[in-house]
Structure 1
Amino acid sequence: MSALVPATAMVAPLLTGWSATTWWLHRRLHQARLDPLSGLPTRARFKKGVDRLLRRRVPVLLVVIDLDGFKALNDTHGHLAGDAAITATGSRLNRWAAAHAERWVVARLGGDEFAAALTIPHAEDLPGVLSRLHENLCAAVPFEGRTVALGASVGAVWSPHWPLAERSRLLRGADEAMYAVKRTGGGWRIAHSDHTAVASVNGRRPGRPGTQMMGGTR
């Protein structure tokens, strides 16, 4: 028995070192999949998350968000204000999704564009859910002891409206709805048809051409 004590004492530091290294590697991998500014998953993780939700065969609401006035905010108040807006948007989007669904995935797609997918079982809940999202996103952003204005355009699709819906088609539809409402000054809009105006690349709209859809605006 006494011979085992020195052996255990020698192995224990090695195990501790391996555990620390494994933890560090897992942490680095986790951070690499997150946007450092917003703290949200990146586009690749978002796509995988949407696919997992769709495989559950439950109604999924997918939204694409573009901030309004973001360039003007950067030009007027500086890039630190823009960073504050991105950080605030990420936090608001995550809280909104968590408050309205049991399962969800949110992401920063790049620049001032965000996306979310969440399980929403009833169509009658959509207007209220999207209105609250838009209201949250348009709240003034705290910055250096004051607040700066921010707006948002939200395009959405709900999977039961889109037979045999796939992630790329949902993204394209939400993206077109977002652009359509952005041209009217911002707000939110739902695409009720899977007919899209243009071809896409990986679910994204090249050049952001739009289409007319039903919905609500500010």
Structure 2
Amino acid sequence: MMTHTEPVLQLLVPLLAGGWALHAIRLYRRLHCVRRDPLTGLLTREGWSRAADRVIRRHRGATVLLADLNGFKAVNDRHGHDAGDAVLAAAGERLAAWCGRNDVAGRLGGDEFVAVLADDARLRDRLADLAELLRQPVAHNGEQLRVGASIGVARLAELDAPTLAAALKAADTAMYQIKGRTRGGRRLLVPALAAVRRLPVAIAHRFRLAA
């Protein structure tokens, strides 16, 4: 025999279930946004690290790349934060477009970007292409904003400990070695892109295109 409370419960159960489902969807979207950089749309450090770990587990020939923009502070100081944001957004868009289907790009913060590549078969050519993309001018309020990029790379297969942490450390070291070659902030002459493509891999990993 049905009591007078049972019809009420039968109505409340689907409503409560629907409410929890809606809450779960909103929570998922919120967490998803946290893992995405709002300016560039790239994964943040946490989101990228999770994705990069998955790539590394599936691809033994994976490569980790760190890119730091050269001349970004000068653009920011001279043209303002809106201009700096435009440069960062453009760099993020170009890095994402450059990445392949199995590659994952992210922004660690500031003007530092990261990517994990599933396949490094064409690494030298791809690095040259990325450097060229990042140094293309960014149009903003009638100005052509220009930056360069220092790029450090670490192949997982060449590391004693083939982990994401070790790869990030190695790529970071390579990147700052490149950045340290400047003289008082002045740009240095660098090899042409065609020449970079012909360099041995160990050297080609460590080229710098100045702003």
The aligned residue for residue 183 of structure 1 is 180
The aligned residue for residue 27 of structure 2 is 25
The aligned residue for residue 109 of structure 1 is 108
TM-aligned CA deviation for residue 13 of structure 1: 6.0
TM-aligned CA deviation for residue 163 of structure 1: 4.5
Residue type of the alignment partner of 1:74: N
Q: Percent identity between the aligned chains?
A: 37
Do 1:156 and 1:191's aligned partners in 2 also have CA atoms closer than 8 Å? no
The aligned residue for residue 195 of structure 1 is none
TM-score normalized by the length of structure 2: 0.77
TM-aligned CA deviation for residue 215 of structure 1: 3.7
Separation in structure 2 between the aligned mates of residue 10 and residue 137 of structure 1, nearest angstrom: 56
From 152, 161, 165, the equivalent of 2:162 is: 165
Q: Secondary structure at the match of 1:116?
A: strand
TM-aligned CA deviation for residue 58 of structure 1: 2.6
Q: Does 1:119 align with 2:118?
A: yes
Q: Secondary structure at the match of 1:175?
A: helix
Separation in structure 2 between the aligned mates of residue 145 and residue 38 of structure 1, nearest angstrom: 21
* Deviation digits for residues 36-92 of structure 1 (CA, Å, limit 9, x no counterpart): 111111111222222211211431121101100111001100010001111111111
Alignment CA distance shift 1:144-1:107 (3 Å): same
Separation in structure 2 between the aligned mates of residue 81 and residue 107 of structure 1, nearest angstrom: 20
Separation in structure 2 between the aligned mates of residue 169 and residue 108 of structure 1, nearest angstrom: 18
- Gapped runs of 5+ residues in structure 1? 1-6, 193-211
Residue type of the alignment partner of 1:146: E
Alignment CA distance shift 1:128-1:18 (3 Å): same
Q: Secondary structure at the match of 2:43?
A: coil
TM-score normalized by the length of structure 1: 0.75
Separation in structure 2 between the aligned mates of residue 55 and residue 136 of structure 1, nearest angstrom: 29
Separation in structure 2 between the aligned mates of residue 110 and residue 191 of structure 1, nearest angstrom: 28
Q: Does 1:147 align with 2:144?
A: yes
The aligned residue for residue 61 of structure 1 is 63
TM-aligned CA deviation for residue 172 of structure 1: 1.0
Separation in structure 1 between the aligned mates of residue 200 and residue 84 of structure 2, nearest angstrom: 27
Do 1:58 and 1:121's aligned partners in 2 also have CA atoms closer than 8 Å? no
From 23, 47, 50, the equivalent of 1:48 is: 50
Higher relative CO (Cα under 8 Å, sequence separation at least 6) belongs to 2
Do 1:64 and 1:174's aligned partners in 2 also have CA atoms closer than 8 Å? yes
The aligned residue for residue 82 of structure 1 is 84
- Gapped runs of 5+ residues in structure 2? 1-8, 182-186, 191-195
Q: Secondary structure at the match of 2:177?
A: helix
Separation in structure 2 between the aligned mates of residue 65 and residue 45 of structure 1, nearest angstrom: 18
- Cα RMSD of the aligned pairs, angstroms, is 2.9
Q: Which has the larger radius of gyration?
A: 2
TM-aligned CA deviation for residue 16 of structure 1: 5.2
TM-aligned CA deviation for residue 217 of structure 1: 3.9
